Amino acid sequence: MNPVPRRDLPLIPTAAWVIAVVVAVLAYLGMGALFSWNPGNFAELEHLGPFSFLFPALPAVLLGGYVLLIGFIHNDALRRGMRHALWVWLAILIPNGIGIILYFILRDPMPVHCTACGTAMKPGFGFCPSCGAQLAPACPRCQKVAQAGWTHCAYCGSRL
C-alpha cells in the first residue's frame, strides 16, 4: 500500500543537507590529500594560478549535489504518495544517474485533495472516493468527468 501523501514536507530534508556538506568536505579533503601525496599531480594545476583550488572542489560539489538530489527524490516521492524508499534505492543503485532520470520520468502527479473531507487522490477524479463529494463537473448519464466548456460528453455523447 502506498504511503499517505504529505504536503508539509520541505523540498530537501535537513538530513540530506547535513550529509551533503559532510560528503562534500570529505571529498574535498580527500582530493587535497591525493594531490599533496603526489606533488606531480598538483604541479600540473599550477598554471591555473589562484583557481587551482577549484579542481579538487569540483568532485566535492558534484557529490554534495548528488546527495541533495537523492534527498529531494525522497521528499518528493513522499509528497506524491509514492514508495519513497524504493525510489531512493533505485536512484542510488542504478548507475550513471539513470535511476534519477527514471524517477523524474515515471513519478506520479501531485495528488489533489477533496474540498469536503481532505482525502488525497489522483487528479482527474470527478467524485471523492472517500466521501462521494463532487469534485469536477460530470456527465449526468455516464458520470465521467467533463471539462468546462463542453456542450456534449466526450464519452457517451449526451448533452451536458
95-125 tens-digit pLDDT? 888 999 999 999 998 888 888 888 888 887 8
Indicate whether 41 pLDDT > 60.
no
pLDDT of residue 50: 64
Could you give the C-alpha distances from 55 to 31, 46, 83, 100, 132, in angstroms and in order? 9, 11, 38, 25, 60
CB atoms within 10 A of CB 21: 14
**What is the Cα–Cα distance from 66 to 47, expressed in whole angstroms?**
29
pLDDT of residue 145: 83
Give 36 or 159, the one with higher predicted confidence: 159
| CB burial of residue 107 (10 Å; 0-12, 13-18, 19+) | middle
CB atoms within 10 A of CB 150: 12
pLDDT of residue 1: 43
pTM over 0.85: no
Work out the mean pLDDT of the chain and round it to a whole number: 83
Q: What is the mean pLDDT of residues 15-35?
A: 89
**What is the Cα–Cα distance from 132 to 156, expressed in whole angstroms?**
22
pLDDT of residue 76: 93
How many residues are there in the chain?
Answer: 160
